[in-house]
Structure 1
């Protein structure tokens, strides 16, 4: 008898769709939390006064970048065979998958993304042409907010985010199924780093030194030559002398503020 049940979306389809859905749902959640003024690193009014781009323009640009990422993902899965070439392994995936191997793929992916992002990010600050015409787009958000996490010039979005993600996928050897979780986690981490909220007991702020306040320092004028590392660790900043430590303190006018501590001279 023929099975009439509806087939579920493939891992490849989910790997493309889920991180995008996570981006808008999770960033929307943080936008709602933005009404909690006592946890904000910047007053709400500063989003309109200091930022140089409208939220509508940010949303349109991010959506355009995500469409490009989806197209590259489709091509990448086609070229690598996606889940087809691993179908035999996937058929017994639940019984045989090694969580140690998956954890290793996550770690490799995180290292690749961090390294790719750090060196390109730092170079775009050092190269005046690239900063003025490309990377300055992202720094139009002097007061970062959640769905501005992936707001970049199209060239930067493709070079840093899209190609960096593709490289992490290829080098780590993760399957499309694993990539669903890896890129969803990366998306959530990036949103947290740009949300502008220092929430109590936020696990990303507790377990990662590279967190909301760390990246907020970079978005301010005094920190633009520091804290290039994104999105997971601060390893390259520490090794190459671009690390700016900070403390989160209460602002006299209300809310919180990330303040630098003894900034080191960048190389």
Structure 2
């Protein structure tokens, strides 16, 4: 089995060797095992992905050494700073090219470390947002035809009502009908897992959204309640196979809870409902793939 690829490149002088090693180290390459003896020196620089490209029929349009990066403009600025510190200003300006578009849907810039063109390195970034990503099954955010149950609490309704409104907003915006959304109110967070499990076991719903709010300052057994609520909701999901979205807030203060219920940090009820939609979609896709 092929494990990796190593390209060994000779450089013309110790000065170029030191410059190249310094530049690659400054850019964050992981150092590999090097060597230094009476015959010369070697340095290894490790990257998470390797590639070997063969060309025939015409000369390659890119330097022999190509380094793929993210955030190409930031890398260009980092290389520019390094060159300003290690080369004369007139040399640095001549040897560093600007970032330019290529004909292969990418952007590229080059660095020439000596008068020899072979000592040119290219840095590039693909303009394809899916480039290099592994194929994966992902959920869609359409709730059309899905049925949901929302379990919320009467305790801390100043918070949970905001979470509930956020959940309903997300579901209906995503295509769910109000007739397909069952809302269940329980006394407090402690009772949420029991109601969620009953709803899940009925097999009438594609997903359960659980909402609640626990404030540390209101109860001395805050951790004990939270741990059991989280465990109960998780256990219900595992046992029934019905996705349960977790929207139970655990906050130090009422102000923190208000922030997470729509004031400053988004609405966690909306986010929980969004996760529920996506998990239903993923489940359906996985079952079709079987």
TM-score between both structures, scaled by the size of structure 1: 0.21
Query: Which of the pair is proportionally richer in helix?
Result: 1
Larger gyration radius, structure 1 or structure 2: 2
Query: Which of the pair is proportionally richer in strand?
Result: 2
TM-score between both structures, scaled by the size of structure 2: 0.20
Structure number with greater CO (CA < 8 Å, separation at least 6) is 1
